[in-house]
A and B are shown apart, each in its own frame.
Chain A
């Protein structure tokens, strides 16, 4: 997944396909048995997973406590609406700021860590935030959560639109997602993007090459926390409430699962596919059988056993075998051995 250096287009062909599907979703959703609300949720989690993949897929740093930043974003948004009665934009801005600050703080402890110790420290911090969220009920509402965070009007300069309907909200989330995709693509093709991938391939070598590894690891963690915060703010807006559950270890594990099942290590689009597969599998299996986790766990094990590079990896291989040029992975570079 080496992103090519040099000139890259602002918007690629894959992006256009993705945007077309994204913005037409409400038109065909009900025909395939889906509904707008799950679309909103998927869009939000894609933002979260794409930001997370900066860390996992591109820098090679597995965080198992990322739910904390999603949760902090959600609480920050909720509090801004309940206590300050700010608008959507202020709320989302605060969500991003709060999560960025928290991630920046945690990153100070983490940036000197590697591999397993990095992962385990993220678990410890994730648990602390989760615990605080439950304990500090004066602010967070404890396990009852922050409730009745009503969806306000969305101010757009000249006009404002109501987000009450899930369809409108979907378009709003989709628009944000589209912007995020473009931004992330830029970031990954900047010198910063090259630096984080150098760290993934060999941290020691990156250091010898003159990269300030500590600082880069710190910034990528913080940046990815910011995306999680945005997703959290949106999640609170959607759910009209914020709960501590998203901060639990289990929920943090799910984003890792989604990212890997889609193929976050080999493709920019991996997390996108992973989130969609996760939600659809959960929604479909959950309405068919109560033991959906059993089947989901088996599916997940099978992916790790037979196709560890996930959907994107499989697609890449199939495409390569067919001799096609249209490989899903925009940067179909070979996985460098570490």
Chain B
């Protein structure tokens, strides 16, 4: 099989997959670089985002009478767009709550914060199971991005293209926000020197609250985007948290572009082994990580951080 019809589709597919992985890791890397907290609840927040979106897209509003009917009559695309705004906000609120709890662990051992979020992960997952039940659910997607198209004689999924483009935009927007706005500058300053931020008269605890909420919202967004691909069940978050982990370590903790590069690398590795040595496709992520870390102790773009001491 020649390159064009053989390997190339797999490379492209791997890159698209990589963008999704990067999207999953985005909120995780933001929180870890600014707050030095490994948020093990990332996966549960990911799942929560998708479940809240499900609630927003197809709610039971019969109690609201005509208003509810009017909402249900909105096109799916509109409800989906509303969900993309409301669900991350809801997850952000949960994130705020978690951050308020986390405050008690600041200045103590890092493991305490990590384990607090581990506990929170269990609690959120169980709460989802109690609220929505253990059964598999389907998150509806707008007509425009459903179905498949032909390129050559291959079928591709429209939704996957949408998801990859969405991932790319989300990465771009977060980067613009961090790099081009004064808020971003403050956040980045907080990541490097919290004393400095305090000295500048900025309320550090409010900053941390907002960053954590923002990170949680990004987890929620990733959940909404991934749910139509992975399916939706209460423990779906477990599938998200491990790749997120690997990616940020691969890219280097604290590095935005490192996370993006890590995501793309993992996507490529999984995509290509998925074509030629399928049974190794999951293991390839871990082997890649060990390979990179054996050569570069702090990942691709990592710098020394407080977390190492």
Query: How many residues of chain B get a CB closer than 8 Å to chain A's CBs?
Result: 44
Give the residues in chain A near B245, CB-CB below 8 Å.
Answer: 120, 123
Given that A113-B297, A124-B286 are known contacts, is A294 also in contact with B126, CB under 8 Å in the complex? yes
Contact of B119 among A114, A131, A135, A297 (CB under 8 A): A297
Flag if B242 contacts A127 (CB, 8 Å).
Answer: yes
For the complex formed, measure the closest distance between the CB of B201 and the CB atoms of chain A, giving whole angstroms.
Answer: 28
Give the residues in chain A near B161, CB-CB below 8 Å.
Answer: none
A82 within 8 A of B: no
| B273-307 interface code vs A (CB 8 A; 1 in, 0 out) | 00000010011001101100110011000000101
Flag if B286 contacts A116 (CB, 8 Å).
Answer: no
B116 within 8 A of A: yes
Per DSSP, are chain B's interface residues mostly helix, strand or loop, or mixed? helix
Flag if A120 contacts B119 (CB, 8 Å).
Answer: no
- Complexed CA–CA distance, A203 and B308 (Å): 11
B130 within 8 A of A: yes
Flag if B242 contacts A115 (CB, 8 Å).
Answer: no
Interface hit among B47-55, B69-77, B104-112:
B104-112
Give the residues in chain B near A296, CB-CB below 8 Å.
Answer: 122
Of the listed residues B115, B126, B245, B308, the one surrounded by the most CB atoms of chain A closer than 10 A to its CB is B115
**Contact residues, B161-204 vs A (CB, 8 A):** none
Flag if B101 contacts A297 (CB, 8 Å).
Answer: no
- Cβ-closest chain A residue relative to B253: A116
Given that A113-B297, A116-B253, A127-B242 are known contacts, is A300 also in contact with B119, CB under 8 Å in the complex? yes
Given that A117-B293, A121-B293, A338-B309 are known contacts, is A293 also in contact with B122, CB under 8 Å in the complex? yes
Interface hit among A22-30, A175-183, A212-220, A249-257:
A249-257
A-B contact count (CB 8 A): 110
- Cβ-closest chain A residue relative to B124: A297
- Complexed CA–CA distance, A293 and B114 (Å): 18
| B118-135 interface code vs A (CB 8 A; 1 in, 0 out) | 111111011101100000
For the complex formed, measure the closest distance between the CB of B196 and the CB atoms of chain A, giving whole angstroms.
Answer: 23
Task: List the 9 closest A-B pairs by CB distance, nearest first.
Answer: A297-B122, A294-B126, A297-B123, A300-B119, A115-B308, A301-B119, A116-B307, A304-B116, A120-B249
25 contacts between A and B (CB under 8 A): A114-B308, A114-B309, A115-B308, A116-B253, A117-B298, A120-B249, A121-B290, A121-B293, A125-B286, A128-B286, A128-B287, A135-B283, A260-B111, A260-B115, A291-B130, A297-B120, A297-B122, A300-B119, A300-B122, A301-B101, A304-B116, A304-B119, A305-B101, A308-B109, A308-B112
Chain A residues near B (Cβ < 8 Å): 56, 62, 109, 112-117, 119-121, 123-125, 127-128, 131, 135, 203, 249-250, 253, 256-257, 260, 265, 291, 293-294, 296-298, 300-301, 304-306, 308, 338
